[in-house]
């Protein structure tokens, strides 16, 4: 395969000369990726970071490889490497980019998949920013996904677009507003006042009086202000209490101060043990991102964490087996199908990631309606099949009503549910998969 050095016209150079042939640019707006697909930067650090941000935020150029002569704060997060790595990495990125089939209006999942897959060394790296509410941000994710990038990260991991690579740090967050801008202060354990002072105390053995050491000092000697005994020998005449701190507000004495975490954002105060602990990771590309980039298609994945999830390949066999068991020994099961109407339209409007979030909220409510012994599988993007053991007509009618009631729940009104029910046993025929498809599309009654 030809390298970038064999085709120097493939490289656009922004900044001072670097001792190799490249197409020099006066400014970024003159860069045409169709003519020079690789951008090389030789700029001061702050200017280099501005250009890197501009490229990764540009919907027409964010996929292009960008290399730098020197490093800058955003270099590890947004650039593809140094000049010395250009000939090694550049051709591989361009070769993989040529295999992509990007569509005109990609959603968040597609943008991340198209960016990460052509880069075998891809890592999503965090950056500490004092102005960031949670302390760390992911600059690349902010560029690709926009304002909701931080909130989308857990979803991207759960959907397997990203995988945890290495634990970088742990931050503690306010459990009221999720801010990392906390101040840890020592306070009185009795009244929680901040005005505390380390003051040595004296305990008089003669009368039992306890007070600050200052109150016992008279003419350079320790003398009890209550019984006027001169205290010469520690352990004989007096000792020092372990409570070395004193509150200037309530005058309580204590051995150790309590610690309070005060949030600069919302003003709430919490015990350190009550704070949220957030691990900060580096991430690498996940399985779903590879699939989206290579296949160009993606299925809506319904996070089925309830009941007994089953692959669609096995469901027809289980249905046939259960049906024959009922025909032989008696009993009642129920086959139930839940269809989410107009899901494709909702996905086109909101994008895949936000649609997944809506589905997650819906399934969390459905979870409360079913038992651990109910078998569930995803038949299609918009359809679930459930096998409900030992349910009669009255049982499934009640369940059907509760499922349809979710259509009126605020926040889920964009997702309309339809329910189809088939009491078992019934006549399935020899091909259970065919029977299922005909039952779902309504052609079974017409046959």
Query: In this structure, what CATH number is given to the domain that contains residue 430?
Result: 3.30.70.270
Question: Does 67 reside within a domain?
Answer: yes
Bridge-partner residues for 277, per DSSP?
Answer: 172
Shared domain for 217 and 131, answered yes or no, is no
Residue 445 region, left (φ>0) first, then alpha (ψ -120 to 50), else beta?
alpha
How far out from the chain centre does Cα 227 lie?
A: 67
Helix (H, G, I), strand (E, B) or coil at 274: helix
* Cα separation, 125 vs 141, whole angstroms: 9
Question: Does 266 reside within a domain?
Answer: no
Q: Which DSSP string corresponds to 325-375?
A: HHHHH---EEEEEEEEETHHHHHHHH-HHHHHHHHHHHHHHHHTTS-TT-E
Shared domain for 231 and 341, answered yes or no, is no
Q: Where are the alpha helices (DSSP H) in 186-330?
A: 213-216, 287-295, 315-329
Shared domain for 322 and 427, answered yes or no, is yes
Shared domain for 231 and 141, answered yes or no, is no
Strand 38-42 and strand 66-68: the pairing is parallel
DSSP state of 259: E
Shared domain for 307 and 234, answered yes or no, is no
Question: Does 283 reside within a domain?
Answer: no
Helix (H, G, I), strand (E, B) or coil at 411: coil
Shared domain for 353 and 431, answered yes or no, is yes
Per-residue pLDDT at 170 exceeds 90: yes
Closest CA to 54 of 152, 139, 162, 148: 139
Print the domain residue range for 34.
11-165
**Which tens digit of pLDDT belongs to each residue from 377-400?**
888 777 889 899 998 888 888 888
pTM: 0.64
Per-residue pLDDT at 101 exceeds 90: no
Per-residue pLDDT at 93 exceeds 90: yes
Per-residue pLDDT at 105 exceeds 80: no
Pair 192, 251: CB distance under 8 Å: no
Pair 177, 268: CB distance under 8 Å: yes
Shared domain for 152 and 25, answered yes or no, is yes
Measured CA distances, 257 to 201, 241, 310, 322 (Å)? 16, 15, 55, 65
How big is the chain by its Cα radius of gyration, in Å? 34
Q: For residue 160, what pLDDT band results from cuts at 50, 70 and 90?
A: confident
What mean pLDDT comes out for the span 81-110? 88
Per-residue pLDDT at 6 exceeds 60: no
* Cα separation, 69 vs 92, whole angstroms: 19
**Which tens digit of pLDDT belongs to each residue from 314-358?**
889 999 999 999 999 999 999 999 888 877 777 767 766 677 777
User: What pLDDT shows up at residue 5?
Assistant: 43
Question: Does 207 reside within a domain?
Answer: yes
* Cα separation, 47 vs 273, whole angstroms: 43
Shared domain for 152 and 217, answered yes or no, is no
Which of 156-160, 327-331, 356-360, 411-415 is predicted least confidently? 411-415
Question: Does 70 reside within a domain?
Answer: yes
User: What pLDDT shows up at residue 301?
Assistant: 52
Shared domain for 80 and 146, answered yes or no, is yes
User: What pLDDT shows up at residue 65?
Assistant: 97
Shared domain for 160 and 303, answered yes or no, is no
Q: For residue 414, what pLDDT band results from cuts at 50, 70 and 90?
A: low
Shared domain for 305 and 432, answered yes or no, is yes
Question: Does 156 reside within a domain?
Answer: yes
Question: Does 288 reside within a domain?
Answer: no
Comparison of pLDDT for 117 and 395, the residue scoring more: 117
Question: Does 286 reside within a domain?
Answer: no
Strand 253-254 and strand 245-247: the pairing is antiparallel
Structural domain count of the chain: 3
Shared domain for 220 and 310, answered yes or no, is no
């Amino acid at each position: 395969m030809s390298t970038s050095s064999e085709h120097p016209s493939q490289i656009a150079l922004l900044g001072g000369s670097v001792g190799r042939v490249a197409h020099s640019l006066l400014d970024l707006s003159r860069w045409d990726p169709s003519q020079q697909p690789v951008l090389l930067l030789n700029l001061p650090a702050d200017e280099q970071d501005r250009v890197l941000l501009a490229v990764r935020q540009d919907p027409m150029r964010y996929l292009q490889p960008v290399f730098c002569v020197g490093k800058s704060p955003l270099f590890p997060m947004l650039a593809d490497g140094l000049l010395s790595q250009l000939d090694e990495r550049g051709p591989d990125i361009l070769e993989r980019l040529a295999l992509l089939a990007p569509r005109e209006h990609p959603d968040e999942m597609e943008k991340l998949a198209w960016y990460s897959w052509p880069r075998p060394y891809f890592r999503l790296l965090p950056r500490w920013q004092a102005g960031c509410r949670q302390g760390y941000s992911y600059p690349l994710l902010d560029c690709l996904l926009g304002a909701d990038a931080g909130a989308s990260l857990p979803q991207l991991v759960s959907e397997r677009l990203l995988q945890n690579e290495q634990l970088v740090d742990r931050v503690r967050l306010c459990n009221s507003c999720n801010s990392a801008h906390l101040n840890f202060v020592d306070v009185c354990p009795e009244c929680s006042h901040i005005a505390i002072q380390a003051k040595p105390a004296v305990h008089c053995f003669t009368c039992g009086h306890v007070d600050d050491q200052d109150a016992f000092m008279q003419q350079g000697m320790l003398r009890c202000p209550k019984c006027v005994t001169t205290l010469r020998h520690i352990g004989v005449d007096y000792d020092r209490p372990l409570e070395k701190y004193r509150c200037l507000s309530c005058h309580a004495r204590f051995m150790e101060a309590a610690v309070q975490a005060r949030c600069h954002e919302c003003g709430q105060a919490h015990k350190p043990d009550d704070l949220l602990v957030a691990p900060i990771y580096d991430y690498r590309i996940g399985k779903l991102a590879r699939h989206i980039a290579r296949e160009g298609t993606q299925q809506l994945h319904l996070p089925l964490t309830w009941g007994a999830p089953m692959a669609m390949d096995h469901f027809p066999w289980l249905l046939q087996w259960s049906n024959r068991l009922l025909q032989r020994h008696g009993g009642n099961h129920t086959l139930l199908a839940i269809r989410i109407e107009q899901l494709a339209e909702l996905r086109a409007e909101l994008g895949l990631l936000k649609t997944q979030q809506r589905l997650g909220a819906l399934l969390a409510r459905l979870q409360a309606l079913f038992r651990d012994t109910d078998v569930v599988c995803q038949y299609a993007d918009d359809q679930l099949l459930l096998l409900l053991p030992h349910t009669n007509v009255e049982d499934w009618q009640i369940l059907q009503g509760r499922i349809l009631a979710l259509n009126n729940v605020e926040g889920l009104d964009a997702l309309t549910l339809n329910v189809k029910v088939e009491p078992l046993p019934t006549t399935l025929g020899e091909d259970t998969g065919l029977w299922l498809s005909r039952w779902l599309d309504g052609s079974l009654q017409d046959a």
